[in-house]
Structure 1
């Protein structure tokens, strides 16, 4: 199973590298063989890609990867159309949208895979988050100054129960189109929410093998307890 991590040097802050490590470990525990590729600016995109990850970064990091992202944009759009699962966090979530407009007005065009637009702000949105999603309760930690608005008809990744989310006003967090998920949640998100990791792995396994996903029964009791404690601490019943 080929996993591609986009721009791990420029776009992997606040623990996002842990998502790649979690996926590789869980792929092995489910009885499959992971091959992890790191794609850097100017590098050749891997011939095989069954699951694609991207993380957060500063505005300067987004500027550094912009040209390369445009260079591989057709490949990423084709993978998204083919059903390849993708998880894009924070800065890469913004670049998978229509555009990111920085605080000084610089417009960085996005891939348009997700129908979202982000504007930079002087004020940051920081703190723990609890979401309701189709994959159950999801927890994480956000730290972003970008305010993201969903286009008409664009589904969010989840509904905010605690925290700011996309913009602090409409209670949406992230975006989801087909098998592509964008989110502001660091933490990193996957160790704390193994159901999301296994959802991505299941889709990638079917893409890689042409057969239904055959998961092993894994003991995630510690992750579940940690997630439930965050929910109990932050959500008022």
Structure 2
């Protein structure tokens, strides 16, 4: 089996080590004997992407300045990305790139960043940032039930789609709803940095399995020894739960 992974803008959108998501996916595939073909795409690169042969797309987060540099370039991919998502393509968008899949992003200084307008979602930035470690209970039925990460965003995001999870500690989409992320078909948008996937191997396997299901007749992955990864996950989860009391 093999997976074709599109790594988008990791040279620009890689705040808080989001490139670790790609590394995690590749290693977990390698340990299972799944071949990974990686293609990287950067700002200004000629648009010759063949999304029909892409199995997974990974996009990290960045500052408003980095988002602005990427947004106009990303708009060139808009129709291809929408078709990819609607056809059950697996896509993980972190923080700033998550925001760009909505209708509107307004910064607190009244500047706006062009968005893809794929989801009916709005992000309104405020000067006070939502920052800190975050713990959520995932809505995907994954075990462990918790997902951990780090968030640092001025944007408050609002939508009516299914969410990645409910916030137990931290902020998530905004400082009102106690909801985090967006889940639509095989698209996952989230504010969790850290990198996200190394500390949440069950989430990484969820993405890998769904990508493989689009190509092969399988319904499960070969188990891995995740003792070290889950120790890291459990340490942070337990620490945050204690801080909640």
- Contact 2:135–2:237 (8 Å) recurs in 1: yes
Match of 2:191 among 172, 184, 191: 184
- In structure 1, the partner of 2:208 is 201
After TM superposition, the structure 1 = structure 2 runs for residues 42-191 of structure 1, keeping only pairs within 5 Å, are: 42-43=44-45, 44-47=47-50, 48-133=53-138, 134=140, 135=142, 136-150=145-159, 152=160, 154-191=161-198
Distance (whole Å) between structure 2 residues aligned to residue 205 and residue 97 of structure 1: 27
Cα distance, 1:37–1:175 mapped onto 2, change above 3 Å:
same
Shift of 1:206: 2.1
5+ residue gaps, structure 2: none
SS of equivalent to 2:236: helix
- Contact 1:124–1:143 (8 Å) recurs in 2: yes
CA-based RMSD of the aligned residues comes to 1.5
Distance (whole Å) between structure 1 residues aligned to residue 177 and residue 220 of structure 2: 38
Match of 1:13 among 15, 18, 34: 15
- In structure 2, the partner of 1:231 is 237
Distance (whole Å) between structure 1 residues aligned to residue 69 and residue 194 of structure 2: 24
Shift of 1:148: 0.9
- Contact 2:103–2:115 (8 Å) recurs in 1: yes
Does 2:222 align with 1:216? Answer: yes
Distance (whole Å) between structure 2 residues aligned to residue 52 and residue 6 of structure 1: 7
Aligned length: 234
- Contact 2:6–2:56 (8 Å) recurs in 1: yes
Shift of 1:185: 0.4
Shift of 1:120: 1.4
SS of equivalent to 1:88: strand
Distance (whole Å) between structure 2 residues aligned to residue 210 and residue 217 of structure 1: 18
1:24-58 CA-to-partner distances (Å, cap 9, x unmatched) read 11111122110111111222343221100111111
- Contact 1:129–1:160 (8 Å) recurs in 2: yes
- Contact 2:107–2:125 (8 Å) recurs in 1: yes
Distance (whole Å) between structure 1 residues aligned to residue 179 and residue 18 of structure 2: 21
TM-score, normalised on structure 2? Answer: 0.91
TM-score, normalised on structure 1? Answer: 0.94
SS of equivalent to 1:176: strand
- Contact 1:80–1:113 (8 Å) recurs in 2: no
- Contact 2:72–2:114 (8 Å) recurs in 1: no
1:42-78 CA-to-partner distances (Å, cap 9, x unmatched) read 2234322110011111111111112211111111111
Shift of 1:114: 3.3
SS of equivalent to 2:198: helix
1:110-161 CA-to-partner distances (Å, cap 9, x unmatched) read 22333321111111111111000122210001111111112x3x11111000
